[in-house]
Chain A
Amino acid sequence: MTVVANVLIGAGLFFLVVSTIALLIMPDVYTRAHAVAKSETLALLLLFGGLFFRPELTLDASGRLALVLIFSLIANPTAIHALLRAASRSGALPWTVIDQRAADEELGGGPS
């Protein structure tokens, strides 16, 4: 059982590392939040799921661990979504390669 737990915890740790690295090297707020919202949530699922197999777990603790797990799974992407909606309304630009000609055509005029 401990081996199963350690494998799951190790996998969760891997995804935590991945999301932190992505937070450092991604180019704009949307990609960074993508890393935090999705990769972190998967990491939490794996890590807390692995903790269920640890021998230290008691009956009380298992209920609370389930509470923390379910709440984190719901709350983490929701909070990031609300934050990103605020960023989008405030005019944060997504990282993109700007094609000026395509932008002009979409706006209905030739290049000035």
Chain B
Amino acid sequence: MSLFLVITLIVVALLIATGLYRVWAGPTVFDRIVAVALVSVNGVVVLVLLGFAFEQPTLFLDIALGFALLAFLLPIALGRYFEARDDGTSRDGASSPRARARPQGVVPHGLIAERSRRAAGGSVARSTRAVPPPVPEHGADAFPDRASDRERLEDDR
């Protein structure tokens, strides 16, 4: 068991603990999933290094390969799960009681949505400021920093 590998192991384990802060704090759900991806990649590194530190690399590399396969599926599956559809709901939002109580027909807002609406020839307000603050739809919980973005927009004026 070489000292260098043990020190490397300890550092990577500390990195896992540090990455978990972003899982805990990350403002949107996608921040959390990105942080989980980093943590799981670090977990694969820890497993491989453990195998070399214990001088049984074959055993631990099998485990690491299985773990890497699972860690590959996780962000893709969670991303598809939390992805908003055209009507503003997502698979998680549509199944929650709060989403069922929410009014239907949410209008997408923001610069890109407005540009595409203009391209379609719809009647659009002149700027995002003239539009009444959009109804918090699915993104209300997923993107809490949208409100602060809107404030920045007004401050820049």
Give me the interface of A with B, judged by CB distance under 8 Å.
Answer: 6, 9-10, 13, 16-17, 19-20, 23-24, 29, 32-33, 36, 40, 44, 47-48, 51, 54, 56-58, 60-61, 64-65, 67-68, 71-72, 75-76, 78-80, 82-87, 89-93, 98-100, 103-104, 106-112
Contacts and interface: CB of A to CB of B under 8 A. Distances in A.
B129 interface: yes
Interface of B: 4-5, 8, 11-12, 15, 18-19, 21-22, 28, 30-31, 33-35, 37-38, 41-42, 44-45, 48-49, 51-52, 55, 57-58, 61-62, 64-65, 68-69, 71-76, 78-80, 82-84, 90, 108, 110-111, 114-115, 118, 124-130, 138-139, 142-143, 145-146, 149, 152-153, 156-157
Given A20-B38, A58-B58, A78 B68 contact: no
A29 B12 contact: no
A22 B53 CA distance: 28
Given A91-B110, A107-B115, A13 B12 contact: yes
Q: Which of A9, A20, A89, A112 has the most CB of B within 10 A?
A: A20
Tell me what chain A mostly uses at the interface: helix, strand, loop, or mixed: helix
Nearest to B111: A103
A79 B75 contact: yes
Which 8 interchain pairs have the tightest Cβ spacing? Answer: A86-B79, A61-B57, A86-B83, A90-B84, A75-B72, A64-B61, A83-B79, A112-B126
Nearest to B139: A91
B37 to A, nearest CB: 6
Contacts of B71: 75, 79
A19 B44 CA distance: 16
